[in-house]
A and B are shown apart, each in its own frame.
Chain A
Amino acid sequence: MQVPILKQGPYLIASIQSALSDADLMQLRDALVRKVSTFRSRGVIVDVTVLDVMDSFASRTLNDLVHMIRLRGADTVIVGIQPEVAFAMVQLGLTMEGVATALDLEEGLEFLDQKLKHKGTGPRDG
């Protein structure tokens, strides 16, 4: 199940549409890292609203994705973690330290806009 990645101005938006296998998650990570270069994107949003489980593998893969993209000079925000999913993640000890999160797509875009404003158009600080 491939995750559609939309380009919107300086941002990439990946909205997960259904449950993902481990292979799907790794494919999403690799595709986003590649596309950030191709489109010279400044920010990435990963929408996980439909995910009803975020286990240790999913959390680790998203964490890796965020840090890889940061090394490419862009910011990532994870949006839409459901309340009961957040509860299970904390029980598992998966707190995603250092990863930006937002309630939904709208707040995610706002977060990236703020980041971009602070950075201006100068060199990337990643």
Chain B
Amino acid sequence: MDETRVPILVDIDIVAARQNGRALAAQLGFSQTDSTLIATAISELARNIILYAKQGEIIMKPLNHSERCGIVVVAHDDGPGILDVARAMQMGYSTSGSLGLGLPGVNRLMDEFAIDSRPGSGTTVTVKKWRR
């Protein structure tokens, strides 16, 4: 299976991204609950792109290792980046007036979480979930 790329430019793209993610998760044999967690995580990541970077993309693809398989979701933008990543990972931190649950929440929904962001050079969040 190939990767799916969804450009995130307007709010309706958030819906398209999470629907694509759910479809891929279901195809990969994830349970309905796990597919919902994946779709919800994608929704949060896509919204962060709209809120903080205006545009970017969500890339999803299957993970196939010898002993387990899963899904990887990459949210990438060339926006302003995050000044203090450690602080952004704490509950309640937000510069856009939102609840600030985004990143810590996504971390809880998925199995693996990595973020690469520097001021002025965009943000890439990579999350993975393994099939149980």
Contacts and interface: CB of A to CB of B under 8 A. Distances in A.
Given A23-B11, A93-B91, A60 B39 contact: no
B89 interface: no
A55 B11 contact: no
15 contacts: A22-B11, A23-B11, A23-B12, A52-B39, A55-B40, A55-B44, A85-B36, A88-B37, A91-B108, A92-B108, A92-B109, A93-B91, A93-B104, A93-B108, A94-B101
B120 to A, nearest CB: 26
Contacts of B37: 84, 87-88, 91
Interface in A52-104: 52-57, 60, 82-85, 87-88, 91-94
Interface of B: 11-12, 14-15, 18-19, 22, 32-33, 35-37, 39-40, 43-44, 47, 91, 98-99, 101-102, 104-105, 108-109
Contacts of B11: 21-23
B98 A60 contact: yes
A54 B15 CA distance: 11
Nearest to B10: A21
